[in-house]
Amino acid sequence: MRTMHIGMVAGEASGDLLSSLMLAGLRERWPQLLAQGIGGPQMAAQGFEAWWPSHKLSIFGYVDALMHLRELLSIRKQLGDRLLAERPDVFIGVDAPDFNFGLEQRLRTGGVKTVHFVCPSIWAWRAERVEKIRRAADHVLCLFPFEPELLHKQGIAATYVGHPLADAIPLQPPRQAARAALGIDERSQVVALLPGSRRSEIKYIAEPMLRAAMLMLQAKPGLRFVLPVVPGLRPMAEALKARAAPDLPLQLLDGRSHEALAACDVTLVASGTATLEAALFKRPMVIAYRMHVLNWLRMRNKSYLPWVGLPNVLAGELLVPELIQDACTAQALAEQGLAWLDDPERYARVQARFAEQHLLLRRNTAQLAVEVIKKVVDAA
């Protein structure tokens, strides 16, 4: 069997996870798979050769990007040079559109087939972003069922492949096993705090979440809290905890966000992939987001949809509360979080909706993606 050679770039923890699930399917189809580029530890566990680590791309917003622009452009130039020299069968850009679209366009112009995995969401449909996709990708793999039609109208080849997390996360969350693994009593009420995986998210979102947790504890003294932290950001989280919530019964976890979601009763969660993970674990949530004021001023009018949280986008309605920027206060987070715990009927209704979303997204993503990628390669 021939060796399949792919180039791949994934940014951040979510991209690393999505890519690792895809790589498992690719390696099943091509056991001698050679995969190289930019990736994280979960991709490495699937045999991926990372020339640069994915955390180099863990940057959000215009301010952070400007601060790291020279380094990012240098990495992209070096990576493009190397991929054009080595001529992989296909390049797969996983999310990270600001980095990947320019790279994909260069590779495509140079004769390398390109696939983009994860269609940009929320403000993606503004004309300038659609044109970038058109120039960059031979084919787009879409996570959500409403996306291909939007792309087809713009003359962009796209396929709905479902979401790999819907395959990886069990339909029935392993609550008891997760609590045992984390040493949490079965009778405790648990709140998971998920402020995000970027340094800027910890900076802007973790503190109001921690202060909200203190307010929730005052209202319900028996509550327990868990906060998963990505590698490298634990000291930052510990310092914030010491300043904002020194007496909070908080268990800091090194990663283990899926165990935290399986174990908790409700979560305060930063907008992004984690909101979908929370929905797949059937956990009621309060979606939060804060950013640098300059980023907010540039982005606040670019939303294509009235919601930012993926569970709400999929539902087509405000299924769970969203507290964005100035609305993201400790008081509001605490009130909305406690509201879930105080309303069992509403709690059960949203869990049923999340179960419907889980079934909708469960499509054997790895196999469908492999079929599309094979067609793209064979068309070369």
Same domain (yes/no): 254, 182 = yes
| pTM (whole model) above 0.75 | yes
- Per-block mean pLDDT, blocks of 10 residues, the chain (380 long): 89 84 92 96 96 78 60 94 97 92 97 93 57 93 90 93 92 96 95 86 88 96 93 84 91 93 97 92 94 55 66 92 91 97 97 97 92 91
Same domain (yes/no): 183, 210 = yes
Same domain (yes/no): 73, 123 = yes
Same domain (yes/no): 139, 212 = no
Same domain (yes/no): 264, 316 = yes
CATH of the domain at 212: 3.40.50.2000
Same domain (yes/no): 84, 103 = yes
Same domain (yes/no): 189, 199 = yes
Nearest alpha-carbon partner for 166 in 351, 356, 358: 358
Domain annotation covers residue 167: no
d(CA 243, CA 245): 6
And the tokens for 219?
């209202």
Domain annotation covers residue 146: yes
d(CA 265, CA 173): 11
Q: What is the pLDDT of residues 113-129, one digit of tens each?
A: 999 998 876 444 455 67
Same domain (yes/no): 199, 305 = yes
Domain annotation covers residue 170: no
* Tally of structural domains, the chain: 2
Q: What is the pLDDT of residues 18-39, one digit of tens each?
A: 899 899 999 999 999 999 999 9
Same domain (yes/no): 354, 371 = no
d(CA 360, CA 9): 27
Same domain (yes/no): 326, 288 = yes
Domain that holds residue 60: 5-162+363-378
Same domain (yes/no): 59, 147 = yes
Domain annotation covers residue 246: yes
Q: What is the pLDDT of residues 74-118, one digit of tens each?
A: 999 999 999 999 999 999 999 888 899 999 999 999 999 999 998
Same domain (yes/no): 154, 202 = no
